[in-house]
Amino acid sequence: MTSNHLKKLVIFHVFVLIGSLIVTNVGIRIVQDQYRSEYIYAKKQLLLNVIEVEEINDDNIIEIVTSYEYDPEKVEAMLAAMNFETVEEFRNFVQLNDTNKLMSTMSYFIIVMINLILFVFTMYKYLRDRHRLLEITKYLVSVQNNDFSMEIKEYDDSPIALIKNEIFKITNKLQTLNEYSIFEKKNLEKTLSDISHQLKTPLTSLFIINSVLEDTTDENLKKEYLKKNQQQLEKIEWLVQSLLRMSQIDSGTIIFQKEDLKVLDLIEAASSDHLIPMELKDIHLDINCDSSLQLSGDKRWTVEALSNIIKNAIEHTPVGGKIKISAFANSFRTAIVVEDNGVGIAESEIGNIFKRFYRKKKDGEGIGIGLNLSKMIMTSQNGDIRVSSTLNVGTEFTFIFNK
């Protein structure tokens, strides 16, 4: 609301006040004149028979009657003609006009007071709404500067209050989006930094290996370094594929299918890709699962989750160690347990192992995304992975599939 609006508001109230006074004054006068004219018209002929005057009207009747105040006979005759018994009664009739004047004055006063009250109330609303609009403007400026600390919510039903509340809701959503955007930006920066760090090691190895291959003529050495080269390339490929899968799950583009699956088939499919690495480390694999045991889930992604845990177990199990995979079920859930007799995990680190890119402090192997990917796959299927471990004894991962 601008100053021009305020001027218009004041002028409007002035015109309303003047108009009300004029209408009231005219109305009272019309009523008084009508009453007086009708009364005089009714008594006119009777008074003319009593006194000698040329004309009697509502303007001169009071003057005529009071002029005969010291002529008792005339006064008595005039009083009788007008149906008054005493002079006092006539005086009361005369005072009726004074009462009308008082009523007229009171009417003016009441009208002025009503208009004054209306004006004060209107000004109060104007100033309150103006304050609210200034508050909204200030709030929008602060929001524009990414400051969401100001509170403008109100609890009445006025139009401006409703507008303020809607703006408050919108800015709350903007604040949430802004916070999420900041979080995602930081998360992206951290992810890119982690990816860069994880790629740096195998890429550095590749450069060193290529440098050695360029300078050597020993065929046996070349074969050895080409094998190492292949291992680093496979590590990079696995990293890229894992990141792609996590990105798909994060974005919600993956739709997990529900189908009845044989648990033994899942275990065999997940472990088949790791038989050669286990053989190279002379690790014994023990599978204990009833062939009739089933669960409901997505085969491809469940195999992926199991495979990552088995890979992790191989990396942390010493040469000649043992990995055991078992399964059981009850009325509420089906569980698959992968346990090893490897180095174990410190109690202080158990809460962090499922974090993306986390690496154990004393761990020289592993990129730190396999466990995170397995956790994401299980939670996306309304399941979970639990872990228990003892240093230098071994680690146990339990897959929980709720029925």
CA separation for the pair 242, 377 (Å, rounded): 12
Check pLDDT > 90 for residue 110. no
pLDDT of residue 322: 96
Residue 398 pairs with which residues in a beta bridge? Answer: 337, 386
What is the amino acid identity at position 323?
A: I
Check pLDDT > 70 for residue 39. no
CA separation for the pair 336, 358 (Å, rounded): 24
Lowest mean pLDDT among 88-97, 168-177, 198-207: 88-97
pLDDT digits (tens, 9 = 90+) for 242-301: 778 887 887 778 888 899 999 999 999 999 989 989 999 999 999 999 999 999 999 999
pLDDT of residue 139: 73
Q: How many residues does the chain have?
A: 403
CA separation for the pair 77, 47 (Å, rounded): 8
pLDDT digits (tens, 9 = 90+) for 158-172: 676 677 677 777 777
The DSSP-derived string for 128-197 is HHHHHHHHHHHHHHHHHTT---------S--HHHHHHHHHHHHHHHHHHHHHHHHHHHHHHHHHHHHHHH
Residue 390 pairs with which residues in a beta bridge? Answer: 394
pLDDT of residue 185: 80
CA separation for the pair 250, 42 (Å, rounded): 100
Check pLDDT > 70 for residue 28. no
pLDDT digits (tens, 9 = 90+) for 287-336: 999 999 999 999 999 999 999 999 999 999 999 999 999 999 998 999 99
Q: Where are the domains of the chain?
A: 3-144, 160-248, 257-402
Domain covering 257-402 in this structure, CATH number? 3.30.565.10
DSSP H helix total and E strand total for the chain:
10, 7
- DSSP alpha helices (H): ranges in 51-86? 61-67, 72-81
pLDDT of residue 364: 47
- 177-183 average pLDDT score: 80
Q: How far is CA 289 from CA 148, 270, 398, in A?
A: 56, 14, 14
Neighbouring C-beta atoms of residue 198, cutoff 10 Å? 19
- 60-88 average pLDDT score: 63
Residue 322 pairs with which residues in a beta bridge? Answer: 284
Angle in degrees, 0-180, between the axes of helices 299-315 and 370-380, rounded to the nearest 10 = 150
Q: Which residue has the tokens 């709720």?
A: 402
